[in-house]
Amino acid sequence: MNRLTVENLSVSFRIPGAVVRAVSEASFTVRPGRCLALVGESGCGKSVLAHALLGLLPGNAEASGSAVLSQSGGGGDVELIGASERTLAGRVRGRAIGLIPQSPATHLTPVRTARAQMQEAVREMGRPPGTADELAEKFGLSPADLDKYPHELSGGMAQRVANAMALAGDPWLLLADEPTTGLDRDLVDRAMGALRALCDEGRAVLLITHDLRAAERVADDLAVMYASRIVELGPVREVLDRPRHPYSAGLVDAQPDRAFVPVPGMPPELTALPDGCAFAPRCGHRTDACDVRPARGGGDGRVACHHPLAVQDGVQEDAKEDSRA
């Protein structure tokens, strides 16, 4: 079966006088039929992670670790980190991994109709010309919609065109990078519904978002990223209902339908990450142990914390029992 296995993926950037550690030792797996959502605040490194998988990092970036596409049908295995442009362009982008971009309306070329761009994508991917119309119909776009220029499309329609174009090469993995930016709640719900449908037809989805509620609607698994690291990874209901990392718990609690209280303090700069736990300075559970960086462990590899919240400690109202794992 197809799968993407990311192991110890790190990405850093050299800038004058400093090194920005954007992704540190990320490990996760994405499988067909499942959606993994990667959530975290802006600047935590989640978009860089997406770009690394597509070989779209800028020249001053250094990536290490591995991200392997294992493909059962014809595609073969591909190591994405350090792959040649030829491999990426010929075998990966659009064909194995489709990108659903941030703000689809601006992703499209403004001077050409949606149809012209769809057809170009289909042609480049070597699919039959009728594919464009089929894809459009699949996403509920009429032929008349395709004849429009990007500025004539509403936000929801531009989103659907972007989804259809991402499928031009029939990729088994879709990478959606903040696909809901600027959409209102109804459109977010619909976009998430479309992603879920893609999962249900057997594709894998990696969703990158800052929007916990959007992630909740579509994801099977949730990875919480903080200061370049995945600090918690588990089934979405588990992580949202019974978060075990204090940062996850803080994020969940900060939502307006929960306590609506911010996590105190600010995240550290990615140029000056502490040696120990990066969340410790903001954490009420901090002890001396936190001077040593915690690995994601505990058997299931769910949480990177020396003092994970016990199951009852989360944000459940009935969390009264005194228990510390």
Partner 1 sequence: MLEARDITVRYGSRTVLDRVSLTVEPGAVLGLGGPSGCGKSTLARVMAMMLRPRSGSVAVDGRPVSRWRQRAPRELRTRVALIYQQPRLAVDPRLTLREIVAEPLAAAGTAAAGTAAAGTGTAGTGTAGTGTAGTGTAGTGTAGTADAERVAALAAEVGLTGDLLTRRPHEVSDGQLQRACVARALILSPGYLICDEMTTMLDASTQAHLVRVVNAYRERTGAGVLAISHDAVLLGRWADGVAELGQGGKAAVSV
Angle at 279 between CA 277 and CA 285, to 5 degrees: 90
- Which range, of 122-130, 207-215, 237-245, 295-303, touches partner 1 by CB under 8 A? 207-215
Residue 308 CB coordination number (10 Å): 23
Q: How many residues does the chain have?
A: 325
Rg (CA), the chain: 20
Number of helices followed by number of strands (H, E) in the chain: 11, 10
User: Least Å distance between CB 241 and partner 1?
Assistant: 15
H or E element: which one contains 73?
A: none
User: Least Å distance between CB 41 and partner 1?
Assistant: 4
Contacts of 76 (CB under 8 A, 6+ apart): none
User: 8, 109, 154, 316: which one contacts partner 1 (CB under 8 A)?
Assistant: 154
Touching partner 1, residues 258-297 (CB under 8 A): 260-263, 265-266, 269
184 binds partner 1 (CB under 8 A): yes
Token couple for 267: 């995240």
Contacts of 158 (CB under 8 A, 6+ apart): 104, 105, 108, 150
User: 5, 29, 33, 43: which one contacts partner 1 (CB under 8 A)?
Assistant: 43
Count residues contacting partner 1 (CB under 8 A)?
Answer: 32
210 binds partner 1 (CB under 8 A): yes
Q: Decide: helix, strand or coil at residue 201.
A: coil
Touching partner 1, residues 2-41 (CB under 8 A): 39-41
181 binds partner 1 (CB under 8 A): yes
User: 187, 197, 311, 319: which one contacts partner 1 (CB under 8 A)?
Assistant: 187
Interface contacts to partner 1, rule CB under 8 A: 39-43, 154-156, 181-187, 210, 212-213, 250-252, 254-257, 260-263, 265-266, 269
